[in-house]
Amino acid sequence: MRTWAIVLSSAGLLLLAAAPAQDQPSPPQDLPTFRVDVDVVNIIATVRDKDGRLIPDLKKEDFNVLEDGKEQPIRYFRRETDLPLTIGMLVDTSGSQWDLIGTERIAARTFFYQVVGKEDKAFLVSFDSDSALLQDFTSSPRQLTKALEKLVAQPTFGIYSGAAGVKLGQPASNLPPNTDPGSNPAGCYQLSTVSNARGTVLHEAVYLAAGEKLRRQPGRKMLIILTDGVDQGSRLKIDVAVQAALRADAAVYSIQYYDPNIYCDSSVDGLGNATLHKLSDVTGGHVYKVERKNSLEMIFSQIQDEMRNQYAIGFTPLNNLRDGSYRRLEVKVANANLSVPARQGYYAVMPDAR
């Protein structure tokens, strides 16, 4: 098992904390600049009608691509079902997910066997108070399934409250007799008020998966995140995670999954949902929520359907300056009743000299 770590200087942390809120993130100066060849900008897009149904039969002439508001000539266009696919699956294994891991294993195993072919590859990451690479790139569903068995929710009451005799931050090994960290009958799970408490480092997991694993991979790239959506203790702001996904050309598909009976505060629903939309909307992915009428298995099936009904669009920017600036993208179709989820921008970074 490989555990990742985020190491930043104190000055870097201050810079991130002081960064002003913007509609689109600006890259902090203390983070690495990734090489991006902007001769051709590639966009993977899906098209949906007002009821959310996928539209698979459009042509090149139906699309318009705008960069910073200026229309760009489309150079490449394909309806993609067979481009090699690289998937990073990130699974929240913090204490709040205790009772959900078994269901996640079963659904993820089916997904891997149905999706990952010989030309595709995937990797698996768990994250709680740290991020761990459980399985590196592989085209073997068997290897991925084996790695899924390593998913274990962290048994800690670090941010639980209410259990008799249990103090905030007390490890599970010190719990009173007959206290179950999963069902937590004597208390409930609440968000920690300790600013540096590390419980669910969601931002760091996305940053590392996109930056270390996906950045140099070709073809279609996606991150699938299983989590309640609440970050606890990351040293990185969410904007930095979004930047990493954009630089990697990776779409983030977020699945909000949590046990509502385990939380003290119902605000986790809205808080987690807002966080996941920040990750997914800008990158051209999608946010799903596990509910009674929309099970985890059904959501994985919906993601598969989307992957089979995508459009690959490529254009050479009319603005050929490689100045590191953020370029806003918008993909439109003539039919106003259709929406086109696609990544909303990219960074025009000068390639490294070789």
Domains in the chain, number: 1
Is pLDDT above 70 for 32?
A: no
Q: Is residue 18 part of a domain?
A: no
Residue in the structure block whose two tokens are 């600006």: 26
pLDDT bin (cut points 50, 70, 90) of residue 126 is very high
Q: Does any domain span residue 22? A: no
Averaged pLDDT for residues 259-268: 71
170 lies in a domain? no
Distance CA 112, CA 99 (A): 22
Count of other CB atoms within 10 angstroms of residue 210? 27
Q: Return the structure tokens found at 274.
A: 């807002």
The structure's pTM equals 0.79
Higher pLDDT, 37 or 235: 235
pLDDT of residue 64: 96
260 falls within a domain: yes
Query: Which CATH number goes with the domain that contains 286?
Result: 3.40.50.410
What is the band of 175 on the pLDDT scale with cuts at 50, 70, 90? very low
Flag whether 78 is in a domain: yes
**Taking the C-alpha atoms of 211, 134, 118 and 218 in order, what is their torsion angle to the nearest 10 degrees?**
0
CA distance 82 to 119: 9
232 inside domain: yes
Q: What is the pLDDT of residues 204-255, one digit of tens each?
A: 999 999 999 999 898 889 999 999 998 988 999 999 999 999 999 999 999 9
Tokens, residue 219 = 């073809």
pLDDT at 185 > cutoff 80: no
The predicted pLDDT at position 303 comes to 93
Does residue 183 form part of some domain? Answer: no
Is position 11 within any domain? no
Question: Each residue of 6-29: pLDDT tens digit?
Answer: 544 333 333 333 333 344 444 444
Predicted pLDDT at 155: 61
What is the bridge-based pairing of β-strands 85-92 and 220-227?
parallel
Domain that holds residue 301: 32-152+188-347
pLDDT band at 81 (very low <50, low <70, confident <90, very high): low
**Angle at CA 17, nearest 5°, toward 226 and 21?**
80
Packed helices 238-247 and 268-283: angle between N→C axes, nearest 10 degrees: 30
